[in-house]
Amino acid sequence: MLTAFARAFKTPDLRKKLLFTLGIIVVYRIGTHIPIPGVDYKAVQVCIDQASTNTGLFGLVNMFSGGALLQITIFALGIMPYITASIILQLLTVVIPRLEALKKEGQAGTAKITQYTRYLTVALAILQGTGLVATARSGALFQQCQVANQIVPDQSIFTTIVMVITMTAGTATVMWLGELITDRGIGNGMSILMFISIAATFPSALWAIKQQGNLAGGWIEFGTVIAVGLVMVGLVVFVEQAQRRIPVQYAKRMIGRRSYGGTSTYIPLKVNQAGVIPVIFASSLLYIPALIVQFSNNQESGWATWVTKNLADTGAPVHVALYFFLIVFFAFFYVAISFNPEEVADNMKKYGGFIPGIRAGRPTAEYLSYVLNRITWPGSLYLGLIALVPTMALAGFGANQNFPFGGTSILIIVGVGLETVKQIESQLQQRNYEGFLR
């Protein structure tokens, strides 16, 4: 693999793409450490030190921003508004006929949907930025910090507007940087930035586990976490690469004196067809009741106490069971809206394709639905178990809910890493070089 990296940098155009991508990553990481106007940087650092093992309800967004959210920097919102906007547009494509028609128009329609995604990203950034500023002003961003109310000293309307505009502009800049990587670099830009944001939190999370350990100065816990992480990475790679290949045969057709078709191919159905989306959906849905309680005036009422005890606590049995159930449910839901067996069957029939032993048309769609439902079950259970790893880590190692080798983080790290390596490998193979995977 090291030889392949050396050959990649020896190829002029590939070297330019890799260096350009690295340059954008450096700019992105610098932006995650620049505080926005109106924030007391010293008070923020004091609160971060006091709450180093408890990021509360904002842990997921903080992870996607590479730790920039809790530091309230210009890139505090990170890539999360774009991810949310992309998911919303993808869901609306199934519901709104106009968006569905744009999706079928090819490159022009995709460009239009991308433009809508940008507009929605800016709108969501304004909404989330306003919420973050309100949370920081009220002191709810760091509940256990004594100087939480001093994070935003000037609480005037002008300062609030400047803070929201700065974070919105930061989100737009992050979106632009991601598109630059996609156009002129290697891999999908948004995925690369997401990968970097999550990977940037690994060293501090691992070191926190070492400092909290009791055996041999914490080194035994540290080594155990590393070993568990390597096993989990191998498991995730194995499942993410697993797929059910449904054979497809195309009939031979004579057009003039030439024959077309007669080839064999397959439809790859991944075991984890939904990716990391169900985990994000389930996490976001479970955060809503806790956020309502956090901003309510009566936090001592019966319902608020029950929500705090059973839903806000990630180790509570109710939270664990509901989290697992929601992940399984959203896995089936997302697969149902992202893969249309009837559309695939119609396209196969149109071009003379058929599955051996299955009649074209409706029987093919029913067969695809049957196979998809069967492989979604192990995929959804796998997602649920992976997502519960931080809860088990909390009980076993005393780690916080942002355990580095668990849940959303490991799925994104492995998925983006595999996809990027495959793109570099394809670039190398085009130039008659050996790839990474031998």
Q: What is the C-alpha separation between 47 and 239, in angstroms, rounded?
A: 39
Q: In the CATH scheme, what architecture does the domain 226-405 have?
A: Orthogonal Bundle (1.10)
Q: What is the pLDDT of residues 296-306, one digit of tens each?
A: 666 667 777 77
Report, as an integer, the average pLDDT of 312-336. 83
- pLDDT in the model for residue 53: 45
Under the banding of pLDDT at 50, 70 and 90, the label for residue 256 is low
Task: Answer for the pair 140, 299: CB distance below 8 angstroms, yes or no.
Answer: no
Q: Model pTM greater than 0.85?
A: no
Residue ranges of the chain that CATH labels 1.10.3370.10? 1-198, 226-405
* Domain 1-198 top-level CATH class: mainly alpha
Report which secondary-structure segment, H or E, holds 258.
strand 258-260
Q: What is the C-alpha separation between 411 and 406, in angstroms, rounded?
A: 8
Give me the torsion for CA of 60, 62, 66, 72, rounded to 10°: 170
The encoded tokens of residue 238 equal 């194995």
Query: Is pLDDT at 182 greater than 50 in this prediction?
Result: yes
Q: What is the C-alpha separation between 220 and 352, in angstroms, rounded?
A: 61
